[in-house]
Amino acid sequence: MSDDLEIDLDAIQRRMDGAMNALKMEFASLRTGRASAQILDPIQVDAYGQMTPINQLGTVNVPEPRMVVINVWDKGMISKVEKAIRESGIGINPIADGPLIRLPIPELNEQRRKELAKVAAQYAESAKVAIRNVRRDGMDQIKKAKTAGMGEDDQKMWSEEVQDLTDKAIAQVDKALESKQQEIMQV
């Protein structure tokens, strides 16, 4: 078998891992009723003429289970950080206290928990779609290699390898979703 008939499983694995990492970042941005510094990761602040993540404008700490504190380094940015948090839609009202911005995390009610669990399921489904797209690309590579002279046995072996990677990645997504939904529904 020549080298041009090899299927790059490492690239397929990397792309599937990328989908999993994106899912983890989306899950981290979901509010679960417990304080987490990652809840601020998707929020960008218009600072110094460009959009900047909050963690590059100050120190983000979680001093207690229901409180996130941001120590903004530049005093002129405090109002902009506050405004960005208010407009982000995460449902937290920031409280300015000198150079600190306190974010008290309110208790989630049952309806909101169920909504967040559904959002988590949508994120997981998007990750599964991305993984299936990577699988399809891998299978397309195998079909091209078949027309270039790959044997039936090799084609079957590569197809099984790609499917195995896909099954493992989908199982990881399901496990992460189950874990996140349990965390959301925990009172």
Mean predicted confidence (pLDDT) in 100-109: 85
**Residue whose entry in the numeric block shows the structure tokens 């599937």:** 16
Which pLDDT value is given to residue 3? 44
Tell me the per-residue pLDDT of 78-97, one tens digit each, with 9 for 90 and over. 999 999 988 877 778 899 98
Contact 23, 36 (CB under 8 A): no
pTM over 0.75: no
Closest CA to 22 of 168, 141, 176: 176
pLDDT, tens digit, for every residue of 125-161? 999 999 999 999 999 999 998 888 888 898 999 999 9
d(CA 184, CA 187): 8
Question: Going from the N-terminus, what domains does the chain have, and what CATH number goes with each?
Answer: 8-27+109-185 (1.10.132.20), 34-104 (3.30.1360.40)
